[in-house]
Amino acid sequence: MQAHRRLRSLQPPSVLILCLGIIFAPGYLAGTVFGAGEDDAVFRLPATLEGEDITFGVGFWLFKNAAHAHMSFKKAEEGYVASFEVQTSGFIGLITRNMKEVMQSTMRYDPQKRRLQPLSFQETITQGDRIRIKTVTFNYEKRIFTFTQEGTNKKKIEITGRLPKKDCDDLLTAFYNLRLGSYGPIKKGRDIPITACVKERPSRLLIVVPEQDKKAPERVCRGDYYMMLSMEKDLTNIASKKVSGWFDKDLVPLCGIIEDAYFFGDIQVIQKERQIAK
């Protein structure tokens, strides 16, 4: 019974998966041509990114299929829309009342900075008949962002803050900016700091590309490259500070591990499929 109560208290693992995604595929599209000339740079999204859909499996302890997730990137009227969705399944789904989380980011391309720029970010969590919604909107003319939070039996909260001087991405925009090379080249021995605006105040993440690769456990995947991620505690609901991921020679995500995430031990995230819509 005690184990069941602990399982019911688990928060959705999507933030963890997404943070792993941030370290999974940085820079494999670096070197993309952004336009025909320096003065009139026009962003041309790589064909290997638009319409991309990646599916993940999530497991821990005795539960190898605790959740499933997928993330996608599409062209939209305002620019681009990225989404990430995760839902518990099987026995874990039953005792967590089919907990589901959806993140969605609308973004545009800034030709001067040569990076994607978030316009809005929303996180929706449902569990049974309960729902919680967090939204961040960005106003670059006034240099402010607005955070709102509302949900079942909860009073709506709205907080406005100043955008930091450095570029501030939401988690999804950061993931794709890394892959586009907007954070610079990815090479061994480099630390990559990221500022994320997904809550009432900016948060910090740090991607570490170690000098020495750590071999991926063969029971999980066969990886060629290795990276680590650290983040502020308020971005996740786990105590672990050991988050790492592996990807192949083309820097396509393969798998990741969050060590000692809960009392059950490690959480394993494995890519099941990657598709590009034609």
What secondary structure does DSSP assign to 196-209, as a single string?
E-SSSS-EEEEEEE
pLDDT score of 102? 93
* 10 token code pair: 């688990």
Name the phi and psi angles at 153, rounded to 5: 60, 25
- CA 2 vs CA 5, 7, 9, 128, 263: distances in Å: 5, 9, 11, 21, 12
Report phi then psi at 222, rounded to 5: -110, 105
pLDDT tens, position by position, for the chain (278 residues)? 444 444 444 444 444 444 444 334 333 333 333 333 333 345 566 666 778 888 999 887 778 888 888 889 998 888 899 999 988 888 888 888 888 999 999 999 988 888 999 999 999 999 999 999 999 999 999 999 999 999 988 899 999 999 998 899 999 999 888 878 888 877 788 898 999 999 899 988 888 888 876 665 666 677 777 888 877 766 665 555 577 888 776 666 788 887 776 666 778 888 899 888 76
Lookup: tokens for 122: 């929303």
Any idea which residue has 């859909």 for tokens?
53
Task: Check if the beta carbon of residue 244 is closer than 8 Å to that of residue 257.
Answer: yes
- Name, in order, each residue with C-beta under 8 angstroms of 222's C-beta and a sequence gap of 6 or more: 216, 254
Domains of the chain, residue spans: 2-276
Q: Under 8 Å CB-to-CB from 272, ≥6 apart: which residues?
A: 55, 56, 57, 68
H/E element, 70: strand 63-76
